[in-house]
Amino acid sequence: MTDQVSNILNETPLPLMKRAGIGLFAELVVELSTSTKTNDKLQSLVNYFAIAPDEDKVWVIAIFSGRRPRRSVSFKLMRQWCAEVTGLHDWLFDECHGTVGDLAETLALLLPENKDDSEQTKSLSFYLEKFIAIEKEDESIKKNFIIETWKNLNRDEKFVFNKLITGSFRIGVSQKTIVNALTKVVHLSASVIAHRISGNWDPVTTSFSELMSEASSISDFSKPYPFYLAYAIDDKVEVLGNIEDWQAEWKWDGIRGQLIKRNHELFVWSRGEELMTDKFPEYFILKDLLPDGVVFDGEIIPSVEGKPLPFAVLQTRIGRKNISKKQLQEAPISFFVYDLLEYNYEDWREKSLLERRYKLEEIVSPIENDVIRISQTIDFKSWDNLAQLRETSRDMNSEGIMLKRKDSVYKVGRKRGDWWKWKVDPLVIDCVLVYAQKGSGRRSNLYTDYTFAVKDGDQLVTFTKAYSGLTDKEFAQIDNFVKRNSLEKFGPVRTVKPELVFEIAFEGIAASNRHKSGVALRFPRMNRWRKDKTVDEINTLHDLKQMLEIYGK
């Protein structure tokens, strides 16, 4: 490992690091968030990993893979202390927050700049471990720590410090980039590193060398494999060639998950690498039904007798700390399994899909319990035939079709070539923009978050929000329209002259008593800006109710 590090040091001149510790991390964040090329990001990470102390490296891996310590200080208190330091009123803070779109950054911009830049800052791990240490302490101790730290940090450092407390870093660094950077500083393959840094490990107790050591960390029985993700097929399906080479399955609308049984224990991971075992007590029985040392890839999905229910049913359960009896009855969860990643404690990812599937069926078919089902493959005679079958997706509460090459191995991350998703066309409805709010992140100070309405007689009834689907240029045009055509201001929300018509696309529709319109949409986004339509030509609440009748039951 040392050889490789020194090679990198020789190849690339390192920027002068005036400030070590959290300052080095702040520089990394600035570089990552401003660079627009994956290669530059990779280089920044490699430079960082080459010179940062080991205890900080572990935290950087943890943070960028979503393992932040629990929030030890609330937004409210951070604001309050900032107000005490700056003397600014709440309304002015809100104006600033609305414009910046990010609390951590707003605080960093408002707090007085630390003039003395010579003082060394503490390490990243110091601050993170301090967050954990003060979690249960009195408010006064927290306050003292935070205000004193603010005094010692420059603006970029204050930003990352606040960000570490308040939220996750979204700076366009994928797990893949982290893994690739690590392959440049340690002698392990990408797939091994990806596996090592996933799962259940704690940056407080795990050292960098333990995490990256040759000695396998198999003692962690819960560790999942990185998921293989499919791209949407963007061409005619015929280009995939011979139908004999392909396996077709229904694409389910649940939570992608891994179900692991090792050492007589059961673990359930979501694609977001969240350990969700306790959320699905239905699965507990599988501990007795499955052999030891298996890992399944599949869909966590509500279903009755093998027939999937709409995703909205599952939504009522996730996010709850405790699952009630009623929820267990109304939204019973199954696992629709489609791949086998480990068998008899052996990594099966390099075997072909056919081989994995054969073994999978051998394990799962004898189990006669609704809680686990093999996701059936679809027989088809031609691509045309499959296209016809795809049209029936919605009838089975499926989102479309998955196509997997029969000889494909199980890869890491989103890759082209062997796995494709072929979704059914979305549902669409024409509606008018009525409220707008400023966005955050790269949309700060731009009106990009919209609420839409359909007609109900002479009235307009709001029914959905949507934030995505338009180009930057279109967002700029609408921002300009909103600024010139605001009717009223409610806090950060502007009421807009109902004039701009959009086609909203969505994946599903369900009844909802939380919304005025009585419906809730799944994955709404702006499909098209209908400049050719006026507000008189939009759809009605009646149209929406009919869609609910057809697709939402």
Partner 1 sequence: MPNLISFTDKGLFCEAGNFYIDPWKPVDRALITHGHSDHARFGNKYYLCQRLSKPILQLRLGENNYETVEWGENIFMNGVAISFHPAGHIIGSSQIRLEYKGEVWVISGDYKREDDGISGKFEPIKCNAFITESTFGLPIYCWKPQNEIYSKIINWINKNKETGKTSILITYSLGKAQRVIQAIKETTENIFAHGAIFNMQKTLIDSGFNLHEVKHVTPETPKVLLKETVVLAPPGAEGTSWLRKFHPYSLGVCSGWMQVRGNARRRNVDAGFALSDHADWNGLIETVKATGAQKVFVTHGFQAAFSRYVNEQNIAHASEVKTKFGDEDEEISSPLEIKNEEAQL
Of these, 55, 95, 129, 543, which contacts partner 1 (CB under 8 A)? 95
Q: Are 269 and 281 in contact (CB under 8 A)?
A: no
Cα 104 from Cα 78, distance rounded (Å): 9
Strands (E), 63-192: none
Is the four-CA dihedral 225, 54, 2, 43 of positive or negative sign? positive
Binding track, positions 125-164, relative to partner 1; x by CB under 8 A? ----------------------------------x-----
**Among 96-104, 144-152, 193-201, 248-256, the segment contacting partner 1 (CB under 8 A):** 96-104
Exposed/middle/buried for 509, CB within 10 Å: 0-12, 13-18, 19+? buried
Q: Is residue 51 near partner 1 by the rule CB under 8 A?
A: no
Q: Is residue 86 near partner 1 by the rule CB under 8 A?
A: yes
Q: Is residue 209 near partner 1 by the rule CB under 8 A?
A: no
Nearer to partner 1, 241 or 441 (CB): 441
35's CB contacts (< 8 A; 6+ apart) are: 41, 44
Query: Smallest Cα–Cα separation from 185: which of 163, 162, 212?
Result: 212
The SS3 of residue 334 is strand
Q: Are 523 and 507 in contact (CB under 8 A)?
A: yes
Nearer to partner 1, 342 or 479 (CB): 479
Q: Is residue 99 near partner 1 by the rule CB under 8 A?
A: yes
Binding track, positions 102-121, relative to partner 1; x by CB under 8 A? x--xx--xx--x--------
In this structure, what token pair is assigned to residue 236? 């005619």
Within 13 Å, how many C-alpha atoms sit on residue 303's CB side?
Answer: 23
Query: Cβ of residue 119: shortest distance to partner 1, in angstroms?
Result: 18
Within 316-435, residue ranges assigned H as helices are 325-330, 353-364, 383-390
Q: Which residue shows structure tokens 């949409």?
A: 521
Q: Are 323 and 279 in contact (CB under 8 A)?
A: yes
In this structure, what token pair is assigned to residue 134? 């003060």
Q: Which residue shows structure tokens 């507990």?
A: 284
Phi, psi of 262 (to 5 degrees): -140, 145
**Among 98-106, 174-182, 223-231, 335-343, the segment contacting partner 1 (CB under 8 A):** 98-106
**Among 33-41, 58-66, 374-382, 517-525, the segment contacting partner 1 (CB under 8 A):** 33-41
Q: Which residue shows structure tokens 């949407």?
A: 232
Query: Cβ of residue 102: shortest distance to partner 1, in angstroms?
Result: 7
Query: Cβ of residue 70: shortest distance to partner 1, in angstroms?
Result: 25
**Among 51-59, 101-109, 122-130, 367-375, the segment contacting partner 1 (CB under 8 A):** 101-109
DSSP 498: T
DSSP 170: -
Considering only residues 515 to 534 of the shown chain, the ones binding partner 1 according to CB under 8 A are 531
User: How many residues of this chain bind partner 1 (CB under 8 A)?
Assistant: 39
Query: Cβ of residue 34: shortest distance to partner 1, in angstroms?
Result: 6
Q: Is residue 33 near partner 1 by the rule CB under 8 A?
A: yes
Q: Is residue 101 near partner 1 by the rule CB under 8 A?
A: yes
The SS3 of residue 377 is strand
Nearer to partner 1, 25 or 338 (CB): 25
Considering only residues 437 to 476 of the shown chain, the ones binding partner 1 according to CB under 8 A are 440-446, 472-473, 476
Query: Cβ of residue 380: shortest distance to partner 1, in angstroms?
Result: 42
Query: Cβ of residue 485: shortest distance to partner 1, in angstroms?
Result: 9
**Among 90-98, 124-132, 193-201, 388-396, the segment contacting partner 1 (CB under 8 A):** 90-98
Q: Is residue 537 near partner 1 by the rule CB under 8 A?
A: no
Of these, 392, 480, 534, 546, which contacts partner 1 (CB under 8 A)? 480
Cα 156 from Cα 172, distance rounded (Å): 18
Nearer to partner 1, 44 or 334 (CB): 44
Phi, psi of 438 (to 5 degrees): -70, 145
Query: Smallest Cα–Cα separation from 106: which of 345, 440, 395, 365?
Result: 440
**Among 84-92, 205-213, 330-338, 390-398, the segment contacting partner 1 (CB under 8 A):** 84-92
455's CB contacts (< 8 A; 6+ apart) are: 461, 538, 539, 540, 541
Of these, 3, 76, 91, 264, which contacts partner 1 (CB under 8 A)? 91
Nearer to partner 1, 307 or 442 (CB): 442
Q: Which residue shows structure tokens 């009896």?
A: 325
Q: Is residue 80 near partner 1 by the rule CB under 8 A?
A: no
Within 435-551, residue ranges assigned H as helices are 472-484, 541-551
Query: Cβ of residue 315: shortest distance to partner 1, in angstroms?
Result: 30
In this structure, what token pair is assigned to residue 162? 């606040």
Query: Smallest Cα–Cα separation from 198: which of 229, 171, 220?
Result: 220
Q: Is residue 18 near partner 1 by the rule CB under 8 A?
A: no
Exposed/middle/buried for 27, CB within 10 Å: 0-12, 13-18, 19+? buried
Phi, psi of 373 (to 5 degrees): -140, 145
Nearer to partner 1, 70 or 473 (CB): 473
Query: Cβ of residue 173: shortest distance to partner 1, in angstroms?
Result: 13
Nearer to partner 1, 238 or 499 (CB): 499
Of these, 3, 10, 11, 13, which contacts partner 1 (CB under 8 A)? 13
Nearer to partner 1, 16 or 232 (CB): 16
Nearer to partner 1, 111 or 412 (CB): 111
Instruction: State the residues that interact with partner 1 by CB under 8 A.
Output: 13, 15, 33-36, 40, 86, 88-89, 91-92, 95-96, 99-102, 105-106, 109-110, 113, 159, 440-446, 472-473, 476-477, 479-481, 531
